[in-house]
């Protein structure tokens, strides 16, 4: 019974945490020697039992694995737990246990204990306000019944949550009792009400937004409404919507005059944050292309790999960064972009499903991969949102690099809603005090920070 309930407990943890490698602690009496059986004292040792609840195996197979693991652990139950931690060289912290946070205990003694001569005795249960582990389930066998007790950390779980876990555990026990050969992934712990809530209620995210408009169309709406309003602040420099529109039109015109940009062509941008950089992004979109932001702080190999992978023909970059690029591409400097030139007439054929920009992953799991983002993707993120209010009073502080996906929210969340994008040197908000000063002085009311 102990192994069956232990297995059910591991399956519960696997379902809740979506894990297939779980370590659960379980107490052992520590009285293997006959001379210890009649001695009063604390000999209990806690054993870590590692299980692999693979969803594709049957419960019968899993139970057999658990049995072998538990028997092996109990054969070595006298091995000191503290010594095991030292051998594993695990980091210790006062806020949590180093090897496991979940415990399962099984008790199969009589409720009133053995009779002692003519002495009458009763059990008195005393409550406690301390949870030694995050979650401990104790199964106690009294005659023909199994009683479950759950001890939990109230900093992590609500009572209603634990009650729900108990119902899940009961459903698991019912499922494995009715069918020993059921695969672990086929054991269903949800009620019909919860399944409806997850699949229907939580997924009812339909929101009306301008899905048939492009970034450029929505930006032009803001230019008409807020031509003289500040669109970008960079230190002491201010750029209105009208100025930003003019600069971006120059970029688009230049790209068509000199290079005849093809629809959805990917154009690299290697430059530091500035109002002009945003104008370059806008200009590329107005020319019908898509921008590929490049980080000036990245290794040369990464920059060139992304440019090659995206089949970039044109890169916009100031002279100080030209050495990071190859000679087989057209390199355009900002001075050329914003120089007064006759405006060539051209038609922007971009639509909502046209490519807006490409952003590459970090490459931590291998080669960086390009993520293609359309105009509609961006519009869905920042227009008529249900997670934050964006309007003409919005003032967003740019905190990441142009190659970080949060830049999409920062740039277009402000400019497509008539707000202001505030740019600062990186050193201005690397520390909490300087960041607080920037937020106060620049009257920032919207900020995107990624927890780490």
pLDDT of 189-202, one tens digit each? 998 999 999 888 88
CA distance 366 to 440: 41
CA distance 67 to 158: 32
Residue (of 42, 29, 133, 45) closest to 82 by Cα position:
45
pLDDT of 21-49, one tens digit each?
999 999 886 556 665 566 665 556 788 89
Q: Where are the domains of the chain?
A: 2-113+124-201, 215-447
> Looking at residue 11, what is its pLDDT?
97
pLDDT band of residue 345 (cuts 50, 70, 90) is low
Non-local CB neighbours of 440 within 8 Å, separated by 6+ positions: none
Non-local CB neighbours of 90 within 8 Å, separated by 6+ positions: 98, 99
pTM of the model: 0.62
Per-residue pLDDT averaged across 269-292, rounded?
A: 93
pLDDT band of residue 363 (cuts 50, 70, 90) is confident
Report the side by side order of strands in the sheet with 102-107: 45-51, 22-28, 102-107, 135-142, 145-152
- Does 342 score more than 50 pLDDT? no
> Looking at residue 440, what is its pLDDT?
92
- Better pLDDT: 432 or 138: 138
- Does 226 score more than 70 pLDDT? yes
Report H helices in 76-230: 81-88, 159-178, 192-196, 215-225
53-57, 138-142, 425-429 — most confident range: 53-57
CATH number of 215-447: 3.40.50.12780
Which has the minimum average pLDDT: 2-11, 65-74, 138-147, 303-312? 138-147
Mean per-residue pLDDT over the chain, rounded: 87
> Looking at residue 8, what is its pLDDT?
97
Q: In terms of CATH, what superfamily is 2-113+124-201?
A: Nonribosomal peptide synthetase, condensation domain (3.30.559.30)
């Amino acid at each position: 019974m102990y192994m069956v309930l232990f297995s059910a407990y591991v399956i519960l943890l696997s379902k809740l945490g979506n894990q297939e490698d779980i370590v659960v602690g379980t107490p052992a009496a520590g009285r293997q020697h006959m001379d210890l059986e009649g001695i009063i004292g604390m000999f209990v040792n806690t054993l870590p039992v590692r299980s692999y609840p693979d969803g594709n195996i049957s419960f019968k197979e899993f139970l057999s694995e658990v049995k072998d693991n538990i028997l092996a652990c109990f054969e070595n139950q006298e091995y000191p737990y503290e010594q095991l931690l030292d051998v594993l060289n695990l980091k210790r912290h006062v806020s949590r246990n180093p090897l496991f946070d979940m415990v399962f205990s099984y008790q199969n003694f009589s409720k009133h204990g053995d009779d002692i001569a003519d002495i009458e005795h009763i059990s008195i249960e005393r409550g406690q306000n301390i949870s030694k582990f995050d979650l401990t389930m104790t199964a106690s066998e009294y005659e023909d019944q199994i009683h479950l007790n759950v001890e939990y950390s109230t900093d992590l779980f609500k009572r209603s949550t634990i009650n729900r876990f108990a119902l899940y555990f009961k459903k698991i026990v019912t499922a494995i009792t009715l069918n020993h050969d059921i695969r672990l992934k086929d054991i269903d712990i949800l009620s019909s009400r919860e399944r409806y809530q997850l699949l229907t209620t939580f997924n009812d995210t339909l929101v009306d937004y301008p899905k048939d408009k492009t970034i450029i169309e929505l930006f032009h709406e803001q230019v008409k409404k807020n031509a003289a309003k500040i669109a970008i602040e960079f230190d002491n420099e201010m750029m209105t919507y009208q100025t930003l529109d003019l600069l971006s039109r120059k970029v688009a015109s230049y790209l068509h005059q000199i290079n005849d940009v093809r629809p959805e062509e990917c154009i690299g941008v290697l430059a530091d944050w500035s109002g002009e950089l945003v104008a370059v992004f806008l200009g590329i979109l107005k020319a019908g292309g898509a921008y590929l932001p490049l980080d000036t702080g990245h290794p040369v190999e990464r920059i060139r790999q992304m440019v090659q992978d995206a089949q970039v023909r044109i890169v916009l970059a100031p002279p100080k960064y030209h050495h990071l690029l190859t000679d087989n591409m057209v390199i355009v400097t900002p001075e050329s972009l914003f120089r007064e030139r006759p405006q060539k007439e051209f038609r922007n054929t971009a639509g909502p499903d046209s490519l807006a920009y490409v952003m590459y992953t970090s490459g931590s799991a291998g080669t960086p991969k390009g993520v293609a983002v359309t105009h509609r993707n961006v519009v869905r993120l920042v227009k008529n949102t249900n997670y934050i209010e964006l309007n003409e009073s919005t003032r967003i502080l740019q905190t990441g690099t142009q190659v970080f996906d949060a830049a999409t929210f920062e740039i277009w969340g402000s400019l497509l809603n008539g707000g202001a994008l505030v740019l600062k040197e990186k050193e201005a908000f690397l520390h909490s005090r300087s960041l607080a000063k920037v937020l106060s002085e620049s009257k920032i009311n919207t900020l995107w920070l990624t927890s780490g």
